[in-house]
Structure 1
Amino acid sequence: MKPLTIIHMSDTHLCPEGRLLHGNIDSWRRTRHALRATQHFSPDAIVVTGDIADRGAPIHPAAAAMLNDIQEELGCPVISVPGNHDPLGSVGTEFNTQRLSTGPYPANTVHEVLGLRIIGLDSGGFQLAQGEVDQAQLSWLQSLLTAPAPLGSVLLLHHPPVAATSPARAGRGLKDPMALAAITAGTDIKAILCGHYHQAATSQLINTPVFMAPAVSYNMNPFAPDEILAESGSGFGVLQIGQEAVNWFVAYSDHLMTGPQDAAPTPSAGGQRAAN
């Protein structure tokens, strides 16, 4: 059987029309280019793990329309959860139009893709340092996982339930990750997909792989002490789930970036930091 391919995008940070992110990033154009680039992998699903907007910008209806258009064009579901830049309720029913069911909040969803169950979990945290999954969501998740799916499950949330990849982002992940681990350990969850850190990374929550996608909008320079924006293009993860293995790697769509507004910001002498 051919492995299932899930494209893992995150942190598009879409701005209001006509506004550039950090003054010189066209995040809408980057997102559209990245979505086009996913066609190369013939995805069975595309997931977006939060921070669809930048700083609460009211762009969600337009973002949902864009994602629904690519869903129809590629013939695969596009599944989204909110991040800490997305106001409460902004990822509502206009997103996730192929969901099978909805949990305690609109962005808690269940999708089925060729036997693989994809569960979206709203870790929210709008304008807060940390994300959190409340008891109602944990109970809902626990109930879902009592019955395994034919090809297992994948869990989506914005805030990684593992330690930050750098000191500058310490304390910005999921609050009380062990509460989540107590539910996911020993279940059919094959991977947890997250974003938020603006840097590709992998880890484990107990024995469950955690994959953190690079950002579509901008990524961070791990060599910079103040974590200035790196000179790199839009990236996304590619998750391949087979009967015997789970693979995850990162692809960058730099070759599609042709306009000057698509370049990452050039740091000033003091460096340019960005809140995520």
Structure 2
Amino acid sequence: MKPLTIIHLSDTHLCPEGQLLHGSIDSWQHTRQVLRASEHFSPDAIVVTGDIADRGAPIHPMAAAMFNDIQEEFGCPVITIPGNHDPAGSVGPEFNTQRLSIGPYQANTVHEVLGLRIIGLDSGGFQLAQGELDQAQLSWLQSLLAVPAPLGSLLLLHHPPVEATSKVRAGRGLKDPMALAAITAGTDVRAILCGHYHQAATSQLINIPVLMAPAVSYNMNPFAPHEILAESGPGFAVLQLGNDAVNWFAASSDQRTTKPQDAAQRTSVEGHLAAN
């Protein structure tokens, strides 16, 4: 069976019309560039792991319309969860229009993609750096995972259930990650996809891969953690899932200005090295 391809976007930080993020970044243009670049990989699904808006900007209806247009054009679901810049309830019924069901909150969703179950979890935390899954969400997740899916499950979270690699972002992940680990241990969860840290990174929650996409809007300089790498280009990640393998690599839409195939091969090697 051909591996499934999941395009992972995060932290678009979309601003009100006519405004630039941090005075210089056109986050709408970045998002459109990444969506166009993702078409190169013929995705089976596109997932967006939160911070759709910047600082609660009222852009969610426009963002939903954009994602729904892409969903129709590409013929694959666009699956979205909120982040700490998205007000409670802002990822409502106009998002995730191909969901099979919802959980305790509107942004808790279940999708099925060719046998792969994708579960969206709302870690909330609007205007807070740290996120949390409450007992209702954990119980809902536990009931879902009691029955395995044919190709296993992916979890989507904004706040990573692992510590940041940068000291300046320490303490900004998911509160009490071991509560999540207790539920996912021994289940069919193949990976947890997150954002929030504005850097591509991999880790593990016990024995489950945690894959953190680079941000679409901007990424942080690991050598100078307070500096924004606006010039790094809009980032995203590509996840390829086979029956027995999980391959992940980070990419930038700017790479399409050179040779797309060469860029894909180069980032695939980099992603393999990072994951090991």
Same fold (TM over 0.5): yes
Alpha-carbon deviation of 1:129?
A: 2.1
SS in structure 1 at match of 2:179 = helix
In the alignment, structure 1 residue 228 sits paired with structure 2 residue 209: no
Q: What does the per-residue CA deviation read over 1:79-113, in whole Å, with 9 as the maximum and x for residues that have no partner?
A: 00000000000001000000000000000000000
Alignment of 1:181-196 (within 5 A): 181-196=181-196
Equivalent residue of 2:211, what SS? strand
Higher deviation after alignment, 109-118 or 230-239: 230-239
SS in 1 for 2:248: strand
The CA distance in 1 between the partners of 2:113 and 2:172, in whole Å, is 31
- 2:268 aligned partner: none
Deviation at 1:9, TM superposition (A): 0.4
Structure (1/2) with the larger helix percentage: 2
The 1-side partners of 2:250 and 2:163 are apart by 20
How far 1:73 sits from its partner (Å)? 0.2
Aligned residue in 1 for 2:139: 139
Task: Give 1:264's aligned residue.
Answer: none
Cα distance in 2, alignment partners of residues 22 and 256 from structure 1:
25
Summarize deviations over 1:189-242 as a string: whole Å, max 9, x none. Answer: 000000000000000000000000000000000000x42101300111100000
Aligned to 2:5: 5
Structure 1 contact 221–227 (Cα < 8 Å) conserved: yes
Q: Partner of 1:217 in structure 2?
A: 217
3-state DSSP of counterpart to 1:229: strand
Mapped contact 1:33–1:256 kept (Cα < 8 A)? no
Aligned pair count?
256
- 1:120-144: per-residue Cα shift (whole Å, max 9, x none)? 0000100012000000000000000
The aligned residue for residue 239 of structure 1 is 239
- On the 8 A contact 1:191/1:209 being kept in 2, the answer is yes
Report the alpha carbon displacement of residue 153 of structure 1 after superposing the two structures with TM: 0.3
Aligned equivalents of 2:90, 2:112: Cα separation in 1: 23
Match of 1:119, SS?
A: strand
1:233 maps to amino acid: G
TM-score (norm 1): 0.92
- Counterpart of 1:269 in structure 2 is none
Partner of 1:14: 14
Is 1:152 aligned to 2:152, yes or no? yes
Whole-angstrom CA distance in 2 between matches of 1:228 and 1:84: 21
SS at match of 1:126: coil
The 5 A counterparts of 1:1-276 are 1-224=1-224, 226-230=225-229, 231-255=231-255
The one-letter code of the counterpart of 1:228 is E
Determine the C-alpha separation between the residues in 2 that align with 1:147 and 1:160.
24
TM-score for both structures, normalised by structure 2: 0.92
- Could you tell me how far apart the structure 2 residues matched to 1:167 and 1:24 are? 26
**Identical columns (%):** 83
CA RMSD of aligned residues (A): 0.8
4+ residue stretches of structure 1 with deviation over 4 A?
none
User: In the TM superposition, what whole-angstrom CA distance separates every residue of 1:124-181 from its partner, at most 9, and x where no partner exists?
Assistant: 1000120000000000000000000000000001000001110000000000000000
What is the distance in 1 between the residues matched to 2:212 and 2:232? 17
Which structure 2 segments of 5+ residues have no match?
258-276
Amino acid of the structure 1 residue aligned with 2:157: L
The secondary structure found in structure 2 opposite 1:227 is: strand
**Superposed displacement of residue 255, structure 1:** 4.3
Paired with 2:193 and 2:187, the residues of 1 have a C-alpha distance of 16
User: One-letter code of the match for 1:241?
Assistant: L
Within 2, Cα distance between the matches of 1:129 and 1:9?
19
TM-fit CA distance, 1:69:
0.2
